A and B are shown apart, each in its own frame.
Chain A
Amino acid sequence: MKKWVNWTIVWDIAQKILIGLGKWCRFVWATLQWTFRPPFRPKNFFKQMEFIGVQSIPIILLTGLFTGMVFALQTGKTFSLFKMQNLVGATVGLALTREIAPVFAALMVTARACSAMAAEIGTMKVTEQIDALHTMAIDPIQYLVTPRVLGCIVMVPLLTMLFNFIGVIGAYIVGTTLLNIPSGPFLHHLYWYVDPQDVNGGLIKAAFFGFFIAAISCYKGFATEGGAEGVGRATTGAVVASSVTVLVVDYFLTTWILEYFTDIYG
């Protein structure tokens, strides 16, 4: 009889995943420990905030604007079937604040900053610069990882706010010009349906996303082996793993937020 599942391969894959997960957890634990140990390096932290946050502003503005515009266009066309175009602002506002802005902002930071993190740390690993840090009595996790993880935790929520803001502007432009929705009802419904709690829920998610994407990308950089090819593999792996994690973690965070913060969405 033909064997449909090769359990040896399945076991090997499961083992690899579990080993990788275990190593990542140890890496995260070390990062948490070093976060609270002196010496603190605020300069490195601000440098990372500038790289992760400030330099991501153009791409967040661009993607946020067009996401808001296309979302307004699609919902507007559908809502017009029921003569409910006035709710476009509220729908786009809710979708942006709860889901789209945190997820898209995290994906944009992954594509721009986290790939660079993995490549930079990976190159440092293969050119012995990380060993050099060790020999100079400087812990590389504290020096390289902690500021990046903290930078992402702070900056992804801020970029999410910016995404929310510019997305709503995009939706407003399309709504009022292309869909002929009067400005008053558009803004009134937006104001009426979108609560600060919706925004807060999105920001909490964004902070978690920031933590995960930075911790995964830095880990991938540290796990780099081989030369330039290894750095390429680490960078690709960092982007894929971070993006998938954002989407998977999003589901669980949403469930958690809905379950335990019923007053937020209640």
Chain B
Amino acid sequence: MAENRYIDILDLHKSFNGQKVLQGVNLQIPKGKITVIIGPSGCGKTVLLRHVIGLMKPDRGRVTIDGVNLHALTRLELNKFRRHFGMLFQQAALFDSMNVYENVAFPLKEHTKLSENQIQKIVADKLILVGLEGIQRKMPSELSGGMKKRVGLARALALEPDIILYDEPTTGLDPIMTEAIDNLITDMQRKLKVTSVVISHDIPSAFRISDQIAMVYEGKIVEVGAPESFRKSSHPAVQEFLKKGEARF
């Protein structure tokens, strides 16, 4: 499988109650790089990301990852395949009945036979990696939005996945925390060579971290390319989005 077509999204269509959200999305995501998907609110970015991890089934089209058609897998096969993924949700989606340690240790306890000592060490390492040393005993309700996202990232990294999906990782964060999360995403890619797909509204952040940027507009990918070539796009929706997006920040 070509490295630049590691995740291959082909002619993806999805509607909800007759409303077309995705109308033939085509996108190739290269291996080991950071791809940022931008677009106005409600254009279907999150829906697209959910198709990439198999949380939604398309009406038409397919998503292949390293040559495997995700939507042709059975439920059990898909479950096994998902071990290649880590996902950071918009609101972090930490289990609120568990503390930070239990949250990060959860996938390790479920999928490995590591001893409690080994799990403790991995959890501590992942928390150091996201800059949150020593907060194992805190409950999610005691954490700020940024801390929750970083714990969510530590949990997503626990099983050392090949692909990490980020759903608006910097939404609602202050500029300092936004930069910290951006640095974390680039650090993960540099250190662990993971393939990252980031959904974002934040234009400066997208240009800071991406190897490839794609824009979803009216249910389709209207532009895709390296940050420099993306900026030079002649598509009016891209230019308007960039202009307004950069003015906001």
Chain A contact residues, CB within 8 Å of chain B: 39, 120, 123-124, 127-129, 131-132, 134-139
Contacts and interface: CB of A to CB of B under 8 A. Distances in A.
Contact of A135 (B53, B75, B96, B111): B53
Contact of B87 (A39, A123, A132, A139): A132
A129 B95 contact: yes
A135 B87 contact: yes
A136 B55 contact: no
B83 A137 contact: yes
Interface in B82-106: 82-83, 85-87, 89-91, 93-97, 106
Contacts of A135: 53, 55, 82, 85-87, 165
Given A129-B95, A129-B96, A134 B89 contact: no
Give the top 10 A-B pairs by smallest Cβ distance, nearest first: A132-B93, A128-B93, A137-B82, A135-B87, A136-B107, A128-B89, A137-B83, A137-B79, A129-B93, A135-B53
A131 B82 CA distance: 12
Interface of B: 50, 53-55, 75, 79-83, 85-87, 89-91, 93-97, 106-107, 110-111, 159, 165
A247 to B, nearest CB: 32
B58 to A, nearest CB: 16
Contacts of B82: 134-137
B89 A136 contact: no
Given A129-B94, A134-B82, 18 more contacts: A39-B110, A123-B96, A128-B89, A128-B90, A128-B91, A129-B93, A131-B93, A132-B95, A134-B55, A135-B165, A136-B82, A136-B111, A136-B159, A137-B80, A137-B83, A137-B110, A138-B110, A139-B75
B90 A137 contact: no
A138 B111 CA distance: 9
B93 A127 contact: yes
Nearest to B82: A137
B55 A131 contact: yes
A141 B86 CA distance: 20
A199 to B, nearest CB: 37
B96 A136 contact: no
A132 B85 CA distance: 11
B98 to A, nearest CB: 10
Contacts of B90: 128
Nearest to A37: B76
A139 B110 CA distance: 11
Nearest to A131: B55
A127 B87 CA distance: 14
Nearest to A134: B55
A123 B107 CA distance: 21
Contacts of B79: 137-139
Contacts of B107: 136-138
Nearest to A30: B75
